[in-house]
Amino acid sequence: MKKITIKYITNTISSKELSELKVLLREKKNQDLFKDYIKDYYDIHTLLNKPDIDSAYKKIWDTINEKEQPRQYVLPSWFKYSSAAALIVLTFSFSYFFINNQKPINNLNSFEEVVSPGVDKATLTLEDGSSVVLEKGQHYNTEEVESNGEQIVYNKKGSTSISYNYLTVPRGGKFEVKLADDTQVWLNSESELKYPVTFKKGETRQVVLVYGEAYFDVSPSENHNGATFKVVSNLQEVEVLGTEFNIKAYKDEESVYTTLAEGKVSVRNDVFKEKLNVGEQSVLNEVTGNIKIKTVNVYNETAWRKGIFSFKNKPLKEIMKALSRWYDIDIIIKNKKLEDIRFNGVLSKSMNLEEILEPIKRNINLNYKVYDDKIVLE
């Protein structure tokens, strides 16, 4: 439903897909999904006042009912001023927008054979060192834990002894875990979390983000006799009472980014201790140990959790890192002059990588070659 919705909004939907969408939208549950996705897709990204989502949805719904040819679709009036809806904006001293009158994207067999979007998958490593592969459609159940292949849930009434598990998500994967205290964690591609199978009553609830990116929705401390929750990651410690936040601490990046979505947290290391307010992000430099605080768009920093790439003034180098992790393929920028070109764009993580690279190729004179284990941008 997400992919076909994006194709409609971005004017890349075929006549056949439009017919499929109309059929899907006959069902109330799909109408609700459609509306929710439009809200997620637009509401943070308008550069003017926040749009009236209900009105925008009605306009889109009316257009679907009237629409005969996909290319006749008119975007909502507030949308043309926004950076959303998979418009990739090339930023130099001015911006180029491209959405209409695009040439059809060629279907390259090499892409289909080599590259595919990420899926739900992870490896669970138990206290004794044994491991279990978790994949969508496969179930794993014990007295302590159960998984449906998309999420792993720990039983609050599990073992009383303290043991630790590791959940490792490879490149090209994502996974969710619900800890024994009801804290929920979403793990992005190429990430690893260490955590206790159970928590001792009254003691600090502590987990370790070994590397990668994770979004935490922490169970409030009042539900656990006042016990605080801590996340230890490379060179820093985040302490919370009950909140939602994102930590990005990849091994191939020089900084650790902590973004607060709700509540309050403090970020500390041996030198600094800083408190974050909602909408703020701490940036820890792993070389100097310094922590800087800046205001960010929380949606842009956490959209990955909802299956969306949201790039706001991001250099091509950073975008390609994110794509490499999700599509599990190395992307090498051979022409170093391209690395710092900045883009705005919102894209579904279910899109084919080719659908993302082709518009970039057409607008910055970019060529790329696809190999079995890598893509080279020239």
Domain 119-296 has CATH 3.40.630.10: no
Find the angle CA(144)-CA(147)-CA(148) to the nearest 5 degrees: 155
Residue 302 C-alpha from the chain's centroid: 6
Listed as ranges, residues in the chain with pLDDT below 70 are 2-3, 6-14, 37-114, 157-160
pLDDT of residue 96: 28
Enter the tokens of residue 277.
């307010």
pLDDT of residue 10: 56
Is 276 in a helix, a strand, or coil? strand
Sign of the four-CA dihedral 60, 63, 69, 75: negative
pLDDT of residue 52: 54
Burial of 350 (0-12, 13-18, 19+ CB in 10 A): middle
Whole-prediction pTM value? Answer: 0.73
How far is the C-alpha of 339 from the C-alpha of 341, rounded, in Å?
A: 6
Residue in 79, 77, 105 with CA at minimum distance from that of residue 10: 79
Residue in 257, 254, 256, 231 with CA at minimum distance from that of residue 243: 231
Contacts of 146 (CB under 8 A, 6+ apart): 139, 140, 152, 153, 155
Residue in 185, 194, 175, 254 with CA at minimum distance from that of residue 214: 185
Return the domain boundaries, the chain.
Answer: 2-69, 109-115+308-377, 119-296
pLDDT of residue 311: 85
pLDDT of residue 45: 41
CATH code of the domain made up of 109-115+308-377: 3.55.50.30
Enter the tokens of residue 72.
């006749």
Contacts of 363 (CB under 8 A, 6+ apart): 88, 90, 96, 98
How far is the C-alpha of 362 from the C-alpha of 289, rounded, in Å?
A: 41
pLDDT of residue 355: 82
How far is the C-alpha of 137 from the C-alpha of 184, rounded, in Å?
A: 21
Phi then psi dihedrals of residue 36, to 5 deg: -60, -40
pLDDT of residue 91: 31
- CB contact at 8 A, 206 and 230: yes
201-240 in b/e form (b: 16+ CB < 10 A) is eeeebbbbbbbbbbbbbbbbbeebeebebbbebbbbbbbb
What DSSP designation does 174 have?
E
- CB contact at 8 A, 201 and 178: no
Find the Cα–Cα–Cα–Cα dihedral 165, 166, 167, 168, rounded to 10°. Answer: -160
Enter the tokens of residue 147.
């998984």
> How many CB atoms are located within 10 Å of the residue 292 CB?
12
DSSP 12-67: ---HHHHHHHHHHTTSHHHHHHHHHHHHHHHTTT-SSSPP-HHHHHHHHHHHHHH-
